[in-house]
Amino acid sequence: MNILVVNWTWYPSGGDWTYVENMVTLYQQKGHQVIPFSMKDERNYPSDYADYFIENIDYKKIKYSLTTGIKVVTNSIYSAQAQKNLERLLSDVKIDFAHINVIHHYITPVILKVLKEKGIPIIWTLHEYTPICPESTFISHGQVCERCFGGAFYNCITHTCKKGSYLASAVAALENYVHNYLDYYAYVDHFICPSVFLYNKFKAFNFHTDKLVQLYHGYNYTEINNALAAPKNTHERYIVFVGRIEKIKGVHTVLKAMQQCPDIPLLIIGTGTQEAGLKQFKQENNLNNVTFLGKKNQQETLQIINNAQFLICAAEWYEVLGFTVVEAMALGKPVIGSAIGAIPEMVIDNQTGLLFEPGNASQLANLVKMLYNNPDKIGQMGIEARQHINKLINTEKHYEGLQKLIPAL
């Protein structure tokens, strides 16, 4: 089969790309051909279909004004270029079915109509909450927010949820109103929900409940196995945090917890908008046990996790399904995770790790000290963590689930 895989990037850009890359590999291993449709970027992996990609849009560099706002809202709701380029691609290449990933604001749901008019089956893996939350994360000014329940997207504007800006929030809210009015989502045959939490949230918001399918991601464990086979560093003990350095990832909570654990070394892998501020916090509070390592490639990251005692996942938003947690557990590492979103589906309290209240630095500190000083517990939890995650996040199970939706697979 010729499978159209659509995503806003065609290069490593986060958890969504981890899934996309794994699916591309899986489809190819099963004898299918993958045809990508994405956005042009110098970081993209090479593709014979790059000429069909849409021009690059970088919203982070856009300075909002009335003129740019009108242009942004037009492109984020309805990408005429995506429609035109996809129609050209479909006229040149026979597509048997389409697998959609992250497309909001860039490629836009207009492509769903194009695909359906060609009679192409569509599945969409949901990586975030944009169809039911204009801000995408259910976070407003650092706090969990569900005010838009029932399609009341105007709350995004009145509470300036998007970037703290009325204009950016208006663009996001209008995008949701228009997409719902045009009913683009009705063209999708099945929405894949990577966790029970996300499935229940979309169901509670009454989002195409008859098309929601709960199916955990698959994962290619080749690099995990390579990391496990590499020599381990047994000379130093440390714990690790991996992720974007942003408020919703809870890095500030981790640093506050580490103030209470001065003798426990923490390595932080990742970059983000809060990096400078948290480095200043470290300096002002003499957190000599905390080291910022910056961005690392996958192989380096896995090796650092493999040599760690355990990983901290301190998310303060409705985490969809963190691949960092998957990777740590697959390496046989327990995880201390916040009890929010899909994290408790992976981190089973006192079995594969420990759970704490999101944002509770004191509780986190106590758990860190307790687990760090109990090597036997670390070892036993690590064994159970690996067994649990290998059963939960399983490529063959994922593919079997897709075959039920697309029998021709």
Per-residue pLDDT at 105 = 87
- 3-state SS, the chain, equals CEEEEECCCCCCCCHHHHHHHHHHHHHHHCCCEEEEECECCCCCCCCCCHHHCECCCCHHHCCCCHHHHHHHHHHHHCCHHHHHHHHHHHHHCCCCEEEECCCCCCCCCHHHHHHHHCCCCEEEECCCCCCCCCCCCCEECCEECCCCHHHCCHHHHHCCCCCCCHHHHHHHHHHHHHHHHHCHHHHCCEEEECCHHHHHHHHHCCCCHHHEEECCCCCCCHHHHHHHHCCCCCCCCCEEEECCCCHHHCHHHHHHHHCCCCCCCEEEECCCCCHHHHHHHHHHCCCCCEEEEECCCHHHHHHHHHCCCCEEECCCCCCCCCHHHHHHHHCCCCEEEECCCCHHHHCCECCCEEEECCCCHHHHHHHHHHHHCCHHHHHHHHHHHHHHHHHHCCHHHHHHHHHHHCCCC
Q: Of the candidates 335, 339, 330, 346, which has an alpha carbon nearest to the alpha carbon of residue 381?
A: 335
Domains of the chain: residue spans and CATH: 2-138+182-218+394-405 (3.40.50.2000), 226-392 (3.40.50.2000)
Tens digit of pLDDT for each residue in 81-117?
A: 999 999 999 999 999 999 999 999 899 999 999 999 9
Per-residue pLDDT at 63 = 58
Tens digit of pLDDT for each residue in 117-140?
A: 999 999 999 999 999 999 999 999
Phi, psi of 174 (to 5 degrees): -60, -40
Residues of the chain with pLDDT under 50: none
Per-residue pLDDT at 232 = 82
Give the Cα separation of 127 and 194 in Å (integer).
Answer: 8
Phi, psi of 67 (to 5 degrees): -65, -50
Q: Are strands 2-6 and 97-100 parallel, antiparallel or unpaired?
A: parallel
Per-residue pLDDT at 73 = 66
